[in-house]
Structure 1
Amino acid sequence: MHQNTVDPAAKWLVQKYGGTSVGKFAAKIAEDIIPEYLDQHKVAIVCSARSGSTKALGTTNLLLKAASEALQRTSNPSETPGTMSPAGVFNRLTNYQSPFTSPGKSSPTSATPGISLGMSPMHAATPTFSETVDVIRSEHINAAKAAVRNPELLKELESEIERDCESIRSFLFATQVIDEISPRSRDSIIGFGERLGCKLVATILRDRGIDAEFVSLENIIPLSESDNFVDSETLDQDFYDRVADVVAERIKQCGNRVPVVTGFFGPVPGSLLRQVGRGYTDLLAALLAAGLGASELQIWKEVDGIFTADPRKVPTARLIPIISPEEAAELTYYGSEVVHPFTMDQVIRRKIPIRIKNVENPSGGGTVIHPDPDVEGVTNGADPSYPPVIPTTSAAKASLALASPYADKHSPLRQPTAVTIKEHIIVLNVNSNRKNVSHGFLATIFGTLDRFGVVVDLISTSEVYVSMAIEDNYDKKMLDRVVRELSKSGTVQVIRDMAILSLVGKSMRNMIGISGRMFTTLGQGNVNIEMISQGANEINISCVIDGRDAVKALNLIHQSCLQIRPEGERGRGAFRR
């Protein structure tokens, strides 16, 4: 079987595949992508939980749904989670169908469908969560039948899927009996998704002649290590460095086999979902790449890479071949789905580049997030198909100056890297009632936001006036409470259905006139600006506009600031006087 290269000088290459890639393109990954890398690299694969035919049928969503269903009150509406008496627990235990019984199957532990504690079969009822688990089971069984051709491998995989789904059912049954799901238990529940997805991918690889090994990381962090951090609010970098080392050591034990690794890496202190969120698979891939000293971390998606704008909204958007980590982080903050900045930092600090690639176009170069700021192209988002122009006549020089008033006379044409839009924004304007001094006014505003956990995307302040842009994803009642609290400090105005437009580029620090061009373009396009903010790192200029103008503004700024094609002779070199 095809294995990882035996060349001792070969470096590791970590590939991360998302849920959609695993759900729709697992066979393509096994046939067209991974074999291309095995002879030159030692490849490690990290997989997310498999997506479904719809977002609601995604494995992680179904597992979270099942967890919620396990705590639903069905027999006694007066019960609330965490308040059941010991007698109530016993009654629930004696009046439940066995979690090991699926529709159409006999229980492996009992001849009757109920638990053998004196319960009559007529009282048995299938828990709602069991039906959800059956959906997960059928989704993976169907995927296995569609992709695995070897009957023996298929039979083995089906048995694994059945076994894991019965484990999920048993786990959920236990949580329903004790009437509680702790944060760590919820982590364990969603961890089943990566197990199922990775087993599917590993079997498909073996079916295609690649010697793959399924690697589960659910117990990779020792319990003693975990307990030391149980009271931590946040995990420090030393913890993540230790995780990187222990994960890398486990992967090296696979020898020449291709490891297929779960993105879920066990009971992280304080809960993986709370500490990291649902992007933990990307984080694990980054930690693995750091621990192995990989030559590159590849994030495989269903897009060619990072574009100068959303190509679904801007037809003239171009692929960015190389970008700095700072620019990628800004694009992530302001609406583009790139890589979470914290995840990115785990590999960038080890000088490992990240490449975004498309599973549907594996021969494409993708976009490289490069850790070295001095690499040519990192500080200039210009399309390489338009090389710098050498003006040779006074007319050409005048044309260039007119087209790009912020270009340095002695350096190649500079332009921003990308423009992005973040929709569904609310603007909160707070005007002080002047009964507070300025520092007390701002302290009260920020204290209120902190108390309610409100994250501010943009802010503009003066002594007695604050404008804040926040995402419209908070509960209405909670947001009303925030507004009432802010009203104690002054008059509050709430403006809904807004959008944040951000122009991003590392070289913008030295672009004289770029702000003027951006806002003049919006003004000429009749796009009203509600507030303006520039990032502290000076590589983005953002403004808040009406959400109805979002797509129009995106195209206007892309055409004005990112599609500059000066007339004149083409050639390579710096501008001359």
Structure 2
Amino acid sequence: MQASTSSTAAASSSSQQPWVIAKIGGTSVGKQLHAVVETIVPTHIKSGNRIALVCSARSGNTKATGTTNLLLRAAHEALRPKGQPDLSSSVPSLRNSPSQSPAPGTPSTPRGSYLLSGSVSSLRLSRSATPDERQPFDDTVDQIKEDHMVAARKAIVNSRELLDEVEEELEYDCERLRGFLRAAQIIDEISTRSKDIIMGVGERLSCRIVAAALRDRGIDAELVSLENIIDWDVLTDEDAQTGKAADGPPQLGQTFYSRLSQRLGERLAECGDRVPVVTGFFGVVPGSLLAQVGRGYSDLCAALCAVGVGASELQVWKEVDGIFTADPRKVPTARLLSTITPEEAAELTYYGSEVIHPFTMEQVIRAAIPIRIKNVENPSGEGTIIFPDSVAPDAHPAEHTARNTVAPSVATRAPSSVPSSALEPHLGPTAITIKDTVVVLSVHSNRKTIAHGFFARIFGTLDKHGIVVDLISTSEVHVSLAVHGEMRKSVLDRVVRDLKPVGEVSISRDMAILSLVGKHMKNMVGTAGKMFSTLAEGNVNIEMISQGASEINISCVIEERDAVKALNLVHLKLLNQAPQGLAGY
């Protein structure tokens, strides 16, 4: 009875500890895992926090060698095989004539066939392929397996038994992936659902190593794989039908994400005193996780976990100290921002600075949970806090818990971890960023179409080819569009060809978008004038000008060769002095 009482008291104490959700990026898992398991996690535990890690797939030395890209390559290679397997070798009834059919009840597994069991997601090979049967994706799977084996041996240094266990698990996951790809090759199809399943392997491999590295250092950790977290209790018929009437994939609503966050909170609570190591991949959703969220789904997963457990903070660990007034690699005078609003962070993300996906921010901000960007190479740094400046200060942490089914639509109180300076609106610009590799597409009407038909043809063509417009400048008969230039030449050629009946088309390449961001710039007169006059004094030619309807950014298109000079000129003129209301400068 005494032991039972002690156990209950320990569980109660654990449940009252504040949660911190730490999102660990792929590069950090790949290069700085020792800092995560030896510094970051132990520090939080010693300070009385409960911590959960949400991990991305490991990244290599280059983006092309990252696990996610290798998995996508393997999926592509499965549909372009070196030698198509013979279906008749896998299906005896297709190979054998009636006179050659085995007697009823006689097992028959022809040489070269594959034993497929269970659902498609759990396909396994009954034997290894011979060298003559190897397909291009086999080399890619082998590379993924070897990368993770090497990483496991570097991370697990104290327990040979634990290392053997992890190597066996990594072997199983990679061979399961190989079997899945062979099955996809046989049916000659990889659906969006299948691609999601393939992508999810990367997070599972990563989390196996992280969880084992923690256990290797005496920290009890549990791998939490979320591939089956979504079921019909989370995804209702109403959710499944959302958006089906519109073009494109169905769009899941906030009700779905709120219900999912509750389920995630319940799952993390089941870990007890163990440190959850959570896969950033959280299952298959209608319309594909990649289509719904994109490559940033692990950030969204971390946000939903934070909402589900009512975390005191969501920490996003990167390889930089936080968010700066400009890219410090290009602007030596750039300063670290102690706080920034979600609106400003969203604009910076869209216009070139990788901060965090706006939808991800929305999930935690609406639950009054601050986001802190921190540097895995400098764990003691304060980082940058993302939190709105339009809430009331309060000494209490966020009241949202896993019991809530729908988070409040507007955060009304700030947790104690948010400094009071963050709640004081500051005037003037906050940061400046540049988006490289931009193409300006200009269309001058031939006046054979009326004005609304002119615009309809242009945007209908862009939609047809999936072209996203960053900036637009229009008159009744002329449209200039700034679009991302990293598209295939054949796509751009087709766009130009389809637009020629509308009017004269011209293209300007090697351009860049310069964006000055500040939520309260509209309260200051002359900011845009200072920006453009500064560029003129520096002999920087401006091709397009656009001020967003939100009034929190002023953007212009310049030649890419002038990008670094323009960044430094505008930063020196408008951002060299700390804006009013920012503390710490």
- TM-score normalized by structure 1? 0.83
Q: Once the two structures are aligned, what percentage of the paired residues are identical? A: 58
2:211 and 2:277 in contact (8 A); partners too: yes
**Structure 1 gap ranges (5+):** 77-83, 101-106, 115-120, 377-386, 388-410
Give, in angstroms, the shift of residue 349 of structure 1: 1.3
Q: Is 1:160 matched up with 2:169?
A: yes
Q: Is 1:523 matched up with 2:536?
A: yes
Q: Which amino acid aligns with 1:169?
A: R
Q: Is 1:53 matched up with 2:61?
A: yes
Point out the more displaced range, 289-298 or 194-203: 289-298
Distance in 1 separating the partners of 2:480 and 2:582: 46
- Aligned equivalent of 2:198, options 189, 197, 210: 189
- State the Cα deviation string for residues 466-500 of structure 1 (Å, max 9, x = none): 11100002221121111122222211111111000
Give, in angstroms, the shift of residue 11 of structure 1: 2.1
Count of residues in Structure 1 that have an aligned counterpart in Structure 2: 513
1:263 equivalent in structure 2: 280
1:118 equivalent in structure 2: none
Q: 1:572 to 1:527 in 2, by over 3 A?
A: closer
Q: Is 1:35 matched up with 2:52?
A: no
Distance in 2 separating the partners of 1:355 and 1:467: 38
Q: Is 1:15 matched up with 2:22?
A: yes
Distance in 2 separating the partners of 1:249 and 1:50: 27
1:243 equivalent in structure 2: 260
2:388 equivalent in structure 1: 371
2:234 and 2:260 in contact (8 A); partners too: no
Give, in angstroms, the shift of residue 527 of structure 1: 0.3
Distance in 1 separating the partners of 2:236 and 2:81: 33
Q: Which amino acid aligns with 1:348?
A: I
Q: Is 1:360 matched up with 2:367?
A: no
Distance in 1 separating the partners of 2:294 and 2:255: 19
Partner secondary structure for residue 496 of structure 1 = strand
Partner secondary structure for residue 565 of structure 2 = helix
Partner secondary structure for residue 511 of structure 2 = strand
Partner secondary structure for residue 15 of structure 1 = strand
Distance in 2 separating the partners of 1:369 and 1:162: 40
Partner secondary structure for residue 6 of structure 1 = helix
Distance in 2 separating the partners of 1:195 and 1:224: 24
Partner secondary structure for residue 520 of structure 2 = helix
1:178 equivalent in structure 2: 187
- Aligned equivalent of 1:463, options 444, 466, 476: 476
Q: 1:50 to 1:412 in 2, by over 3 A?
A: closer
- Aligned equivalent of 2:137, options 126, 129, 146: 129
2:19 and 2:311 in contact (8 A); partners too: yes
- Aligned equivalent of 1:275, options 282, 292, 298: 292
- Aligned equivalent of 1:138, options 141, 146, 153: 146
Aligned ranges for residues 287-436 of structure 1 at < 5 Å?
287-374=304-391, 414-436=427-449
1:99 and 1:169 in contact (8 A); partners too: no
Aligned ranges for residues 471-482 of structure 1 at < 5 Å?
471-482=484-495
Point out the more displaced range, 16-25 or 55-64: 55-64
Q: Which amino acid aligns with 2:38?
A: E
Distance in 2 separating the partners of 1:278 and 1:308: 26
2:314 and 2:371 in contact (8 A); partners too: yes
Give, in angstroms, the shift of residue 44 of structure 1: 1.2
1:394 equivalent in structure 2: none
Give, in angstroms, the shift of residue 218 of structure 1: 0.2
Distance in 2 separating the partners of 1:248 and 1:289: 8
Distance in 1 separating the partners of 2:177 and 2:489: 34
Q: Which amino acid aligns with 1:251?
A: L
**Structure 2 gap ranges (5+):** 1-9, 96-108, 117-123, 394-420
Give, in angstroms, the shift of residue 222 of structure 1: 1.2
Q: Which amino acid aligns with 2:361?
A: M
1:64 equivalent in structure 2: 72
2:14 and 2:272 in contact (8 A); partners too: no
- TM-score normalized by structure 2? 0.82
Distance in 1 separating the partners of 2:426 and 2:389: 21
Distance in 2 separating the partners of 1:532 and 1:572: 29
1:226 and 1:269 in contact (8 A); partners too: no
Give, in angstroms, the shift of residue 128 of structure 1: 2.1
Point out the more displaced range, 56-65 or 277-286: 56-65
1:99 and 1:130 in contact (8 A); partners too: no
Q: Which amino acid aligns with 1:562?
A: L
Give, in angstroms, the shift of residue 42 of structure 1: 1.6
